Each structure stands twice: as structure tokens, then as C-alpha cells.
Amino acid sequence: MNEPIILKVQGLKVHFKLHRPHFLAPAPVVHAVDGVGFEVQRGKTFGLVGESGCGKSTTALAVLRLVEPTAGKVFFDGLDVLAQNHEALRVLRRRMQMVFQDPYSSLNPKARVGSIVGSPLKIQGMATGRMRRERVAELMTMVGLRPEQANAFPHQFSGGQRQRICIARALASGPDLIVCDEPVSALDVAIQAQILNLLRRLQRELHLTYLFISHDLGVVQYMCDEIAVMYLGQIVEKADRMSLFNHPLHPYTWALLSAAPSARPKNTRQERRIRLTGEPPNPIDPPPGCRFASRCPYAEKLCGLEDPPLRRIHSGHWAACHLIDNQGLAPHLTRNGTQRAAL
């Protein structure tokens, strides 16, 4: 049985105007996010994956209105987030929290940990005095820290412990949705596993919903129920975890997966590898047609002329590629399922 939708994003765009090069020139516009849409089920983890600069983090910030979207709709539990005034948004943010990427810069170095973890309770007026101290102690224990460590400063903790503090702060107001923006990318591999297991345990115990941002495919495969692949501000493929990793349809997704480290012998990996050349196009002046066409080894003339829509290929599996046929045959595969030679 499917869980109800808690987060719905429709046609989200975030454009940033830059300074004019001179007085008479128009202001350049960075198309950071350009028409992104997805739905997240309550209690599930939805992942956004892609290389640096594709718009993942900007999408997350726009969902929480930490940056103002240029266009689109964001609905949280049926409420139009973009239509809320300042006071209504402050109340709504009790239920929507964020864990940032860098645990070193996201904590106030002059504040004690107890004050940091308890700050949402103070700002939202949810607890004072002894009640706040008891809640902070509970949160510290919940994330694997000792309550007496609330009197310490952030510089007295390791990177993994600091991220636990950030998670405790995000949990303080009792949210339903937590946006995790690359929460383990700044940590050692062994510590990454601990933090990911902590997030999964908290999700089970508190029935949390995660919007999970990452460039690490291994992390995304471990954490996410459904995944969207982004390229240059757009979603190029969206599917559940099993479908995406076992049957990738978009050439960009295939390239990402084929480049991921694997324990399999080298000779079995070599035949699957797609080697991309060149750099992503400039987001200030995105090209016509498919934005991946200039790097795609299978691109045809149509790809450079028309922007492919994100269309349903199979049940729950969507892709934006002109070269995927109605039976779901991807451009990098032949009819018998073997890899097609690149053009």
C-alpha cells in the first residue's frame, strides 16, 4: 500500500540574475533549476543525484524557501509553501528541517552544543527552562552523544560527532520532513556508514521523510527508495531504486553508474563503461534541445533541436530522452540487451 504524498514539487525554477557586464547589457541569468518536479511519499526517502553544479542543493533550498523560487509550486502536506507569509512559514518550518553538508561551518563556534540543539525550541517557543534542557538531553542520547556533552563547544567534537549535533538540532522541533544536503560527503568512509545507519534508524523510529541530496551513488542506493537524476537543472531520469540501478534508461544515468567504483573484475566493467567528453554547457546560456546532447555519445540531430520531455517509460520509471523507444529500449542497448557501441 502506497503512503500518502507529503511533498509535491511542480515545475520548480530557480534563476539567479548576475551583475551586468556593462550598463547597456542585459543581466545574465543562471538557470540553476529549470522545471523540476517530483513527489515524495510519507516515511520514504527520495534522492536527488547528479554531478556538482546540476542544481540538487538549490532545489532543496527552494523547497524550504531558503532561496525564493522563480516559478513553480511546492506543496507540503497539502499546503502551498510558496504562498505562506512570513509568520505562517515560520510555523510550517517546525515540520520541515535541514541537515547541511558541512558540519564544521553549519555550527556556531561560539555557542555551546546545548544551546545549538535547543535553538529551534527557543525560536519556535516550544519549550523553556528545564523542559528545554530535558529535551536537549533526550536528543543528544537519540543521536548517540552523551547528555553532559551539551556543555561543550563544537570545536571539541570530531566531524562525525558534529554531524550528529546537526541531526539532533534538526530533530528538535519534531519535523515530518528532513532535507539532507550531502550529509556525509565531508566525513571519512567509516564515519559515513555510522551516520547513514543513524539516519535510517531515526527514520524507522520517528517515521521521518527524507529528501536526500548526494553525488555518491553508493550512498543513494543504500538510503533512497526513489531516485531522480539531475543534469544541468533538469531531471533526466526518475525511478525506484531497483529499476534505476538495474535498468538505467538515460545515457547520462548509465554513464554515472558505469563510472562508479565496483568490486567486480575490471574486464567485466570495461564493456559497460561510457566515457563522457567535454564539460556541461553553461547554465547562463543553456543550449537548445537536450542539454546532455553535446556530451552524449549516441546523440542524433533531433537531440540538438528539441528538448525531450520527461515521459513515463515503464510503471514508476520516467526518462527524458528522444532515443528511448516506447518499449523502453535505451539508446546504449541493443535488442538483445548488450551495450551498443558509442557513435
Q: What is the pLDDT of residues 132-153, one digit of tens each?
A: 999 999 999 999 999 999 999 9
What separation in angstroms does the CA of 288 have from each of 26, 269, 283? 20, 33, 12
Domain 5-17+28-252 is of which CATH architecture? 3-Layer(aba) Sandwich (3.40)
DSSP codes of every residue in 159-222: HHHHHHHHHHHHHTT--SEEEEESTTTTS-HHHHHHHHHHHHHHHHHHT-EEEEEES-HHHHHH
Domain coordinates in residue numbering, the chain: 5-17+28-252
Beta bridge partners of 12: 36
Tens of pLDDT along 203-227?
Answer: 999 999 999 999 999 999 999 999 9
pLDDT tops 50 at residue 265: no
C-alpha cell at 35: 522545471
Residue pair 33/55 in contact by the 8 Å Cβ criterion = yes
Beta bridge partners of 99: 180
Packing angle, helices 129-142 and 113-123, rounded to 10: 120
Cell numbers 525531450 correspond to: 308
The percentage of the chain sitting over the pLDDT mark of 90, rounded to a whole number, equals 70
The three-class DSSP label of residue 87 is helix
Query: Mean pLDDT over residues 166-195, rounded?
Result: 94
φ, ψ at 202 (rounded to 5°): -65, -35
What separation in angstroms does the CA of 12 have from each of 30, 56, 74? 14, 12, 8
Tens of pLDDT along 46-98?
Answer: 999 998 889 999 999 999 999 999 999 999 999 999 999 999 999 999 999 99
pLDDT of 81 = 96
Rg of the chain, C-alpha, whole Å: 22
Q: Say how far apart CA 4 and CA 257 lie, in whole Å.
A: 30
Compute the C-alpha angle 243/332/219, nearest 5°: 40
pLDDT tops 60 at residue 129: yes
